[in-house]
Amino acid sequence: MKTPKAIATLTLILFCLGLAHSQQTPENYPTFSNAVYQGNDNVYNDYPLADGEFYNPILQGCYPDPSITRKGDDYYMVTSSFAMFPGVPIFHSNDLVNWTQLGHVLDRKSQLKVADTGISAGIYAPDIIYNPHNDTFYMITTQFAGGIGNMVVKTSDPREGWSDPIKLAFAGIDPALFFDDDGKAYVIHNDAPEKALYEGHRVIKLWEYDVSADQVIKGTDQVIVDGGVDISQKPIWIEAPHIYKKNGRYYLMCAEGGTGSWHSEVIFVSDKPTGPYVPADNNPILTQRYFAKDRKNKVDWAGHADLVLGPDDRYYGVFLGIRPNEVDRVNTGRETFILPVDWTGAFPVFENGLIPISPKLKVPAGVQNKTGQEGYFPNGNFTYTETFQSEMLDYRWIGLRGPREDFIATSQKGLEIRPFAVNIKEVKPISSLFYRQQHKKFSFTATMDYSPSSEKDLAGITCLQSEKFHYVFGITRKGDEQYLVLERTENGVSTLVGSDKLTANGPVQLRVEAKGDAYRFSYATKGGDFQNLGGGVSGDILSTNVAGGFTGTLIGLYATTANDVKPE
């Protein structure tokens, strides 16, 4: 039995805990009742689909480094996610045209250790593969965070979640698994040579893999490609390897040339999985590097591919590419494309992958294009409206460096963001819910109800390329008055673009619009007309080839109690 003194002490502790919680919890969380994304790229208006056609890319926005596998009539595809949380989005299709997102492979903190890393670290180049010998799916990747490095996770059903990571005992990046017909398994990956002969010199290394122990077999590693197709030409960044077996021979496909404008896909062949591998005479088998820089509807940087047998018994390859805007900036990031592959000859070749890539292509025989219908991912131009009323938030909304569930809650009013005392410039989990920019010409409008309590409080929207390159457009306080502010941060240096005093109470609509490189931020109160703040601003800082890194622009619903934007 507790004594009166013990009860009093316990009561005091509980009171202090409650007081601490009340001090950390503002009375008025920013609440978003809806968000509407609308994409309207000219290319989709200029090239309407006819029956039996679908658009490329198949995943618009920052979905790079695709990998694909097949079990029966089911196709599963994954892409890189870097420091986004959850990580490694996974998609399902029965026909390679119509895709649904099943969720994410890495959806727990025990799997994803990105809380203290920059946006372009974290998860690189996931490879997904089905092993028919033990009816198991594997996802192998490099996690540049948390001291993990190369790792693998497994599942018997991609719809039911994945194991915690198994750390693998080798260096390098871009690992992939290959399971031979006899049940033997191998890991291949990019690695540094023993002695680099030039900048960008890399090798492809192979290990035997112990399936029962889920580990490479020590001492079995060997270099199977040195430099690339022709080392005398000093090829750079041979990476993203995959092995395929066809007609008793082993085909090694790799990316070469770096992930920028010289990117390509090359192929080698061997009579044994361990090599020696001989390059094809007609390499590269996919690239966009030879064409006019000012070509119409430009697709560039094509490479980092993976092959799969399609529903029509033809091969197809998924790969990354970009669609730069009118000043050659890459705000939508690296996207996932697909092309049929002609493998009637000795080597596979991407059909129309050595000419400028077209915005649309034919569906596989017997397939109907249902994108944007019946729960399938939209494609081309579309409008996505989110009212935040569903029991489960759409998988397209993601956090950065930490779970979205750590800072969001739903109510009858919509989505509440419970802000962290962390601002968007910090390399920590931030209280921002993100949606990928998927078009060069788009608008994103969010309706927010919010009354900041102090100058440290801010909520609104953001367009973010990284912690050092972004725009913040939100409501804060100066003295007794509320202000709407627009801040530009370039390479970590922030500038106030504009500020307006808010005189009306109640919900505010916040909007960002882009037409290529030209962005505009505006707001409306009490159903009034939208008013621009800050004039037209450049999207330069939202471009991969300005900000660096590997991501595309993320549009966020953002809140913080560590605001440093000062209105004028």
Give me the active site residues, please: 65, 239
**Contact (Cβ atoms closer than 8 angstroms) between residue 349 and residue 452:** no
How many angstroms from the chain centroid is the CA of residue 415?
23
Nearest to 128 by CA among 323, 281, 307, 4: 307
Q: Which residue(s) pair with 249 in the sheet?
A: 246
Q: Where are the beta strands (DSSP E) in 412-452?
A: 414-417, 430-436, 441-449
Q: How far apart are CA 252 and CA 275, in angstroms?
A: 9
Q: How far apart are CA 96 and CA 487, in angstroms?
A: 42
Amino acid at 159: R
Burial class of residue 492, CB neighbours in 10 A (0-12, 13-18, 19+): exposed
Q: How far apart are CA 56 and CA 380, in angstroms?
A: 8
Q: What is the chain's Cα-based Rg? A: 25
DSSP string of 252-291, one letter each residue: EEEEES-SSTT-EEEEEEESSTT---EE-TT--SEE-TTS
Tokens 């009816």 belong to: 135
Q: How far apart are CA 239 and CA 255, in angstroms?
A: 5
Tokens 């505009």 belong to: 520
Nearest to 29 by CA among 414, 403, 562: 414
CB within 8 Å of 269: residues ≥ 6 apart? 249, 250, 251, 252, 277, 278, 280, 346, 347
Burial class of residue 82, CB neighbours in 10 A (0-12, 13-18, 19+): buried
**Contact (Cβ atoms closer than 8 angstroms) between residue 151 and residue 214:** no
Q: How far apart are CA 125 and CA 498, in angstroms?
A: 39
Tokens 């202000």 belong to: 483
**What is the number of residues in the chain?**
568
Nearest to 102 by CA among 56, 157, 143: 157
**Contact (Cβ atoms closer than 8 angstroms) between residue 341 and residue 246:** no
**What b/e readout covers 527-564, taking b as 16+ CB neighbours within 10 angstroms?**
eeebeebbeebebbbbbbbbbebbbbbbbbbbbbbbbe
Q: How many helices and strands, by DSSP H and E, does the chain display?
A: 3, 40
Q: How far apart are CA 225 and CA 348, in angstroms?
A: 19
